[in-house]
């Protein structure tokens, strides 16, 4: 067994390393909502003027220091920058940078994700309700047990191999998504297969001609019997924001049969398109099995001749139109009545069937890869604490074999 030594966290990583980025400089920005919970890789960024914020480089780990973002798992390793490029993001990040010859950058990321750091960070939070923040000095003086650099690299390589496969699956799915969206636009927006002109047997209608628009409801939070860990799927916009999956079977919590009966929630079939109608408008997912939702949705149960794929891409393509039809002062919302009146193109049944046939294998592949990613994530999460506390001995493992 390799000997592990106890050291203060500030002695093995650099906290919030100093970087220079002049105000007004165009740079890559990573906002808090861009981070996917418990996901190593940052999926997107924006290029904007630097006016302030936390700065970082490739290889750094960024962790949310504010509630509930930290508890939700918003921690990522920066890999979106070029050599010597500086990015920035929320002031609510803590940046951790490995120290050359002392710590491995990947090991630092997984260490920050582990209970060895997460739990003390969460317990250290102070401040008013809903705005509590991690006390950085508590983390800096945290006693951390770490192995030598070679062992760190071996541990990180095991966990990184799983995250690399997850990232590859995500890229495949994104490529498939772009292909399907491009076909939708070619056929149903630009009419390219039809000489650039809408066929005579197509017509215009509304979303109500594509499927049944269904709202949701929330059982009383005061009655425990309405909620369960294993019952009827009950989806909230937060679930779509956290998981960012195309297909969803369950949310953070389920409801019981009693809870369903005592609320306005409706049980909807497999293939229903879930569309968040407020705060914000436009989270979209497809029901993987029977689900219900809270009142933050205006879901669409597709008519058989229309199908899931057409409505799914129609909503994505017409998101701006739907947002412009919404109302509200505090936050925008689209009502069920207005949602039903959103203008929609209704193609012929034979063309819709051809589009279904194209999308069917795409959807199947995407769903399988999402399912594989859930299993890979579960394996990674089960290995993480055992590797980080030395329970699994990697001293005999040859790094080159991975």
- The distance of Cα 259 from the centroid of its chain, to the nearest Å, equals 27
Average pLDDT, the chain: 95
Kindly tell me if the per-residue pLDDT of 397 is higher than 80.
Answer: no
CA 67/CA 253 separation, integer angstroms: 20
**Spatial contact of 230 and 252, defined as CB atoms under 8 Å apart:** no
**Spatial contact of 206 and 321, defined as CB atoms under 8 Å apart:** no
Kindly tell me if the per-residue pLDDT of 401 is higher than 50.
Answer: no
Within 21-146, residue ranges assigned H as helices are 105-113, 115-123, 136-140
pLDDT score recorded for residue 125 = 96
pTM of structure: 0.91
**Spatial contact of 89 and 31, defined as CB atoms under 8 Å apart:** yes
Q: How confident is the model at residue 188 (pLDDT cuts 50, 70, 90)?
A: very high
CA 301/CA 312 separation, integer angstroms: 11
Q: Tell me the pLDDT tens digit for each residue of 62-108.
A: 999 999 999 999 999 999 999 999 999 999 999 999 999 999 999 99
pLDDT score recorded for residue 207 = 98
Residue 388 has φ and ψ, to the nearest 5°, of -75, -20
- DSSP character for 20? -
pLDDT score recorded for residue 400 = 54
Q: What is the mean pLDDT of residues 173-201?
A: 97
**Spatial contact of 244 and 173, defined as CB atoms under 8 Å apart:** no
CA 175/CA 163 separation, integer angstroms: 18
Q: How confident is the model at residue 328 (pLDDT cuts 50, 70, 90)?
A: confident
- DSSP character for 325? T
pLDDT score recorded for residue 399 = 56
CA 274/CA 97 separation, integer angstroms: 40
Among the listed residues 49, 202, 40, the one whose alpha carbon sits nearest the alpha carbon of residue 105? 40
Q: How confident is the model at residue 1 (pLDDT cuts 50, 70, 90)?
A: low
Q: Which residue has the tokens 């005579």?
A: 200
Q: What is the mean pLDDT of residues 188-199?
A: 97
Q: What is the mean pLDDT of residues 348-374?
A: 98
First CA to last CA distance, the chain? 20
Q: What is the mean pLDDT of residues 100-124?
A: 97
Kindly tell me if the per-residue pLDDT of 402 is higher than 60.
Answer: no
Q: Lowest mean pLDDT: which of 63-67, 246-250, 367-371, 387-391?
A: 387-391
pLDDT score recorded for residue 242 = 77
Q: What percent of the chain has pLDDT over 70?
A: 99
Q: What is the mean pLDDT of residues 166-174?
A: 96
Q: Which residue has the tokens 């989806």?
A: 235
């Amino acid at each position: 067994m390799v000997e592990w030594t106890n050291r203060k966290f500030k002695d093995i990583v650099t906290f919030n390393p100093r970087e220079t980025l002049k105000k007004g400089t165009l740079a890559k920005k990573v906002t808090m909502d861009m981070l996917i919970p418990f996901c190593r890789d940052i999926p997107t960024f924006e290029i904007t003027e630097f006016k302030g914020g936390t700065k970082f480089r490739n290889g750094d780990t960024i962790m949310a220091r504010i509630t509930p973002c930290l508890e939700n798992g918003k921690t990522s390793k920066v890999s979106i920058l070029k050599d010597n490029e500086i990015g920035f993001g929320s002031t609510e990040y803590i940046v951790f940078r490995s120290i050359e010859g002392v710590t491995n950058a990947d090991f630092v990321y997984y260490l920050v994700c582990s209970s060895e750091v997460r739990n003390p960070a969460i317990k250290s939070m102070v401040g008013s309700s809903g705005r509590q923040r991690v006390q950085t000095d508590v983390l800096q003086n945290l006693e951390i047990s770490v192995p030598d650099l070679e062992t760190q690299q071996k541990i990180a390589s095991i966990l990184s191999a799983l995250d690399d496969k997850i990232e590859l699956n995500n890229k495949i799915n994104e490529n498939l998504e772009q292909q399907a969206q491009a076909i939708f636009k070619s056929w149903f927006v630009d009419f390219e297969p039809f000489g650039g002109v809408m066929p005579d047997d197509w017509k215009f209608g509304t979303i109500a001609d594509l499927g049944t628009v269904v709202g949701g409801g929330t059982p009383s939070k005061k009655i425990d019997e309405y909620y369960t860990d294993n019952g009827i799927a009950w989806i909230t916009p937060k679930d779509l924001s956290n998981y960012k999956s195309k297909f969803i079977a369950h949310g953070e919590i389920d409801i019981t049969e009693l809870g369903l009966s005592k609320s306005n929630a409706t049980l909807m079939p497999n293939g229903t398109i879930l569309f968040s109608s407020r705060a914000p408008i436009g989270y979209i997912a497809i029901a993987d099995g029977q689900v219900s939702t809270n009142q933050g949705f205006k879901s669409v149960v597709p008519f058989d001749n229309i199908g899931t794929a057409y409505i799914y891409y129609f909503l994505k393509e017409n998101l701006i139109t739907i947002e412009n039809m919404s109302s509200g002062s505090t936050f925008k919302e689209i009502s069920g009545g207005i949602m039903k009146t959103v203008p929609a193109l209704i193609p012929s049944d034979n063309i819709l069937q051809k589009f279904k046939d194209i999308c069917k294998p795409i959807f199947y592949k995407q769903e399988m890869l999402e399912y594989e990613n859930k299993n890979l994530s579960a394996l990674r999460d089960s290995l993480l604490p055992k590797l980080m506390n030395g329970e699994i001995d990697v001293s005999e493992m040859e790094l080159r074999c991975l």
